[in-house]
Amino acid sequence: MKTDRRAFMAKMGLVGGAIAAAGVMGEEAVSGTARQPRLKALLVNGSPHAEGCTYTALSLVAQELQAAGVQTEILQLGSAPVSDCIACGNCRKHPGVCIWKDDPVNELIEKAKGAQGFVFGSPVYYGHPSGRLLSALDRAFYAGSFAFEGKPGAAVASSRRAGSLATIDAIQKHMTINQMPVVSSFYWNEVHGFSAEDVMKDEEGISVMRQLGRNLARAMEAYALVPPPQPVERKFTHFIR
Ligand SMILES: Cc1cc2nc3c(=O)[nH]c(=O)nc-3n(C[C@H](O)[C@H](O)[C@H](O)COP(=O)(O)O)c2cc1C
């Protein structure tokens, strides 16, 4: 299998020294490079509550990632409006850039370029993800799918009581149309509560998040080391033409 490792590394947001520290032998290996965090996970909080339940769940995942040597950043989508995709097609002319500049979606795409793994977290609203997370993911993946493609990711849901699975399913669709391995835990990636304090009483949810962090770190290590297969020639049809 012929692979262009430099192109692969660039796509994964890895620099030469970084992948050498990750243990890859070859032309990029830099002898004597001190071991330092070389993989980065971007965790996206789709809640308007900066330090609510979803944030608490993401923080638990982040702790385990950090313990495994992975750098982490939690990106807050915030409480200001996040526009929906208007299908303007501008991002087809300017890949990686959404025409809406007044919310964090372009920042998400930029940060995704330098990350090798993702967690997308959302509170459950009427049995589905928050509108802000869905709008952000629709636009970020439509304008900048290349920044996420082939990198492991996980979906996390926080609910008071019900709707977590539909929420997780919705978030995972962005990943599974983009060649991203979806990382799981020993139960579905959900926590429960109305406040951060509630979540910290959800012992099973806490353990699920912690295992998820460890599993994501492993998946990130593995995917950073193994280049993707040669791409199949892609067909794009509307079924009838
Ligand atoms: C508009 C709205 C709709 C909600 N819908 C649900 C729901 O369908 N199921 C549920 O269990 N909790 C629901 N909740 C509660 C939140 O999902 C839950 O409190 C969540 O943990 C809050 O996370 P956060 O602190 O990160 O925002 C809803 C909350 C709001 C504001």
Mean pLDDT over residues 2-22, rounded?
A: 60
Q: Which tokens sit at 186?
A: 């020993």
Read off the pLDDT of residues 20-43 as tens digits, 9 standing for 90 and up.
433 332 223 333 344 456 999 999
121-125: average pLDDT: 99
Angle, helices 131-144 vs 105-113, to 10°: value is: 50
Amino acid, single-letter form, for residue 187: Y
Amino acid at 196: A
pLDDT in tens, 38-82: 999 999 999 999 999 999 999 999 999 999 999 999 999 999 999
Task: State pLDDT tens for residues 179-209.
Answer: 999 999 999 999 999 999 999 999 999 999 9
- Regarding the beta carbon of 162 and ligand 1, being less than 6 Å apart is answered yes
Q: Which helix (H) or strand (E) holds 123?
A: strand 117-125
Q: Which domains does the chain have, with CATH numbers?
A: 40-157+180-224 (3.40.50.360)
- The pick from 160, 165, 189, 190 for probing ligand 1's pocket by mutation, whose C-beta has the most ligand atoms within 8 angstroms, reads 160
Q: Dihedral of the CA atoms 233, 96, 94, 99 (nearest 10)? A: 130
Q: Is the pTM of this model over 0.75?
A: yes
Residue nearest to ligand 1 atom 8, measured at CA: 126
Give the nearest ligand 1 atom to 124 CA: 17
Rounded Cα gap, residues 70 and 78, in angstroms: 24
